[in-house]
Amino acid sequence: MADNYQLILIGKIAAGYDVEIVHEKLSIIFDIDLKKIPKLLKKPTIIRKGLNYKIAFQYKQNLEKIGVLCDFLPKLETEFEPIAPTATIEDQETFTLVELEETEVAISDNSKFRVIDIKMTFGAILIFIIKLLLASIPALLIFWVIIHAVQILMYMLF
């Protein structure tokens, strides 16, 4: 019974959390299209099976930090037909949780994270590049002042 817990999304968002932000974070964590998240939260959904107590508790704790209500239950030895059936996502696909912010990690199992892909629309990339260019102007001005000061100093010395 050590690795026999199921992690279940209850389908509700905790009070005090913005629904859109929670949906966005879930989309990032599970690498699911943002449009599929409301369907995922419509009813209780099993998202992981075969977990031990410690890992299941960590999942529950970290998902509740972002505002998603979930629970973990031991799997019963005898299977039965539940009254309110729960859905599995793409037949028990395991989801990899990623870092959310500097201090908030969705799951910490001492693994290293590597960015494989950044999903951004063309408009978002364009806005990012424009902001990058505007942010570089003060740095270029400071760099120009330093170079000019060094030139004047060199002129005065030689």
Asked if residue 30 is part of any domain, the answer here is: yes
Q: Same domain, yes or no, for 66 and 134?
A: no
- CA 45/CA 140 separation, integer angstroms: 52
Q: Same domain, yes or no, for 11 and 58?
A: yes
Q: Where are the alpha helices (DSSP H) in the chain?
A: 19-30, 37-40, 53-65, 122-157
Around Cβ 24, how many Cβ atoms within 10 Å? 14
Q: Same domain, yes or no, for 83 and 13?
A: yes
Asked if residue 68 is part of any domain, the answer here is: yes
Asked if residue 114 is part of any domain, the answer here is: no
Can you give the pLDDT at residue 2? 61
Looking up residue 63, the CATH number of its domain turns out to be 3.30.1390.10
Query: Would you state the structure tokens that stand for residue 7, as one six-digit string?
Result: 């992690």
Asked if residue 149 is part of any domain, the answer here is: yes
| pTM exceeds cut of 0.85 | no
Q: How many domains does the chain have?
A: 2
Dump pLDDT digits (tens) for 64-121: 888 888 888 886 554 545 555 444 444 444 454 444 444 444 444 555 666 667 788 9
Q: Same domain, yes or no, for 129 and 64?
A: no
Exposure class string for 116-146: b at 16+ Cβ within 10 A, else e? eeeeeeeeeeeeeeeeeeeeeeeeeeeeeee
Asked if residue 43 is part of any domain, the answer here is: yes
- CA 100/CA 1 separation, integer angstroms: 31
